[in-house]
Chain A
Amino acid sequence: MIPAIEVKKVYKHFGSVNALVGIDLEIEQGEFFALLGPNGAGKTTLINILAGLTLPSNGVARIMGHDVVTSYREARRIVGVVPQELVFDPFFSVRETLSIQSGYYGLRNNDAWIDEVICGLGLLNKENANMRTLSGGMKRRVLVAQALVHKPPVIVLDEPTAGVDVELRQSLWYFIKQLNRDGHTIVLTTHYLDEAEALCSRIAMLKQGKIVALDSTRNLINSTNGCLIRLHLSSDTLPLELYPLLESYTEDCFILRVNNYSKIENVLAELRTAQIRVLEMELMQPDLEEVFVKIMGNTEDLESV
């Protein structure tokens, strides 16, 4: 199967600034994929190259096999991009905006799908309002709707939930998940790592224009060493044998790191021998944030060497 997105040795320089340094990436059709990284890592530059808003200095990017530079018309028909900046055309209403956008793709009589998008994104009672009069959240919904107006097989969302309220976030993801189930490939960037963790099957982490991690969400989370247990004990000291496992002590609780959950039995055994009772115990799942912080930190060390 042709990959939905294929990026090969893509470089981008803005003057002396290297925004992207040799990006290689393949995203399969039907994936729900996250691009993560701190501000300035190159996520938006990469997305802009896929969208044709920025030309790569070097390398090739293809969408469903169509080169974004040489076959730009085919590539742009297949991809729908939600830009990060909140932009709108002040001359038109929501529905006019959407039918104009649809027209750019050569689609006439697209009203049934436009209705579905308007409903799905909760824009129904604003469809005849002028874009100028909408709140920020509503404008964001229209931006998403504009990207979906030609029913693109590949949907790219650049921080779609930045500064957006809970309700929209939920309805947006509900709608996007549905599209993903229908076979659309979804690529998103976000700073909310819990969103990426909950939605995406695979993740690439970018830092300073390079991919520093690329794996399934599960593998990335499992890559943290061991797991954490939080213990509230009858004693405020820990048996000596357990001190090497101590990660931190907060709010009367000891947080211990063990290699895997089977080691918990050993910890409990030590506590019994020392005649300390466990008042409360919590197993703490490793999460993406921990992995993210670790990976971003690690590569920093590498570079400073």
Chain B
Amino acid sequence: MSGFYTLLHKELLRFWKVGLQSIFAPIIATLIYLLIFSHVLEERVEAQPGVAYTTFLIPGLVMMAMLQNAFANSASSLIQSKISGSIVFILLSPLSYMEIFVAYVLASIVRGLLVGVGVYLSTLLFFDVPLQSLLWIFVFALLGNGFLGALGIIAAIWAEKFDQLAAFQNFVILPLTFLSGVFYTIHSLPPFWEDLSQFNPFFYVIDGFRYGFFGVSDISPYFSITIVAICFLTVSWITLLILKSGYKLRQ
């Protein structure tokens, strides 16, 4: 068991040692989004009845930052050690594939949460954000980060070069987060796009997370949590199968 703790500790140290880039930078970037959008749209839009646009935007941005960083953490750690070859030290060790999986996903969750908490606390300096249910917030944050952490493992195992991973990040993760209702409620979309949004798993993560802040959401948080849990478990199961098979790692 303590082999697992070592790997987890190493994965945490890895991003902590470059905290300026891995935690501080995404917090700043998210705050800039917030300042720009709130400045441009505050006067014109009311996203949900009684909820000012900036207030509506904050939970979405917090979750978006968490999802992107949870993905980036496992993905960049794995692809770097894969390309530099230092992954051999993990592959040579008696760590089980389950331990490897859990260590990478937990490290992703921790980084995601640090970024999320950082963004949330800094927005409190400028804006007033309600907080209805910490439990919903925490459960969606946990599952959302875990989901993306596992996706990051799959992407990094599949990618053979940095640009393939970047393609996955730019053509899959980024559009899915941007089009998941971070910046708007999907009820404001034309019917076709509203229907399409319901096939985007990130939509449920963000909608449910937002429910934790306002007690209002586009759809029931129970339905959202079911979808998110199914996504997390399915992706985790696939990741474990891939790790067990040795696909692209132990050829």
A interface residues (Cβ-Cβ under 8 A, vs B): 14, 51-55, 72-74, 76-77, 81, 83, 85, 87-92, 100-101, 103-106, 108, 146-147
User: Would you call A104 and B90 a contact (CB within 8 A)?
Assistant: yes
> B residues within 8 A CB of A87?
84-86, 88-89
Q: Mark contacts of B74-118 with chain A using CB atoms, 8 A cut-off: 1 yes-contact digit, 0 otherwise.
A: 000000010011101111111110000000000000000000000
Contact B2 A103 (CB under 8 A): yes
B7 within 8 Å of A (CB atoms): yes
Nearest chain A CB to B79 CB, angstrom units: 14
Given contacts A53-B250, A105-B3, A105-B93, 20 further A-B contacts (CB under 8 A): A14-B251, A51-B92, A52-B92, A53-B91, A74-B94, A76-B93, A77-B94, A85-B88, A87-B89, A89-B81, A100-B9, A100-B10, A101-B89, A101-B93, A103-B2, A104-B6, A104-B90, A104-B95, A106-B1, A146-B89
Interface size classification for chain B: 20 to 34
B residues at A contact (CB < 8 Å): 1-3, 5-7, 9-10, 13-14, 17, 81, 84-86, 88-96, 246, 250-251
A91-B17, A106-B1 given; A76·B251 CB < 8 A: no
Chain B nearest CB, measured from A101 CB (Å): 6
Most buried by B among A52, A103, A108: A103
A103 to B137, CA, bound (A): 34
Q: Which of B89, B246, B250 contacts A104 (CB 8 A)?
A: B89
Q: How far is the CB of B74 from chain A (nearest CB, A)?
A: 15
Is B84 in contact with A81, judged by CB distance below 8 angstroms?
Answer: no
Enumerate chain B residues within 8 angstroms of A72, measured Cβ to Cβ: 94
Q: Which residues of A contact B89 (CB under 8 A)?
A: 87, 89, 101, 104, 146
Asked if B3 contacts A106 (CB within 8 A), the reply is: yes
Residue of B nearest to A131 (CB): B86
A92 to B11, CA, bound (A): 12
Separation of A103 and B103 alpha carbons in the complex (Å): 13
Min CB gap B97→A, angstroms? 10
Could you say which of B9, B14, B96 contacts A103, with CB atoms under 8 Å apart? B9
Known pairs A103-B5, A104-B6; A52 contacts B86 (CB<8 A): no
Cβ-closest chain A residue relative to B96: A73
Name which residue of chain B comes closest to A79, CB basis.
Answer: B92
By the criterion CB–CB under 8 Å, are A100 and B92 in contact? no
CB<8 Å pairs between A and B, sample of 27: A51-B91, A51-B92, A52-B91, A52-B92, A53-B250, A74-B94, A76-B94, A83-B85, A83-B92, A87-B84, A87-B86, A87-B88, A89-B81, A90-B84, A91-B13, A91-B14, A91-B17, A100-B6, A100-B9, A101-B93, A104-B6, A104-B95, A105-B3, A106-B2, A106-B3, A108-B2, A146-B89
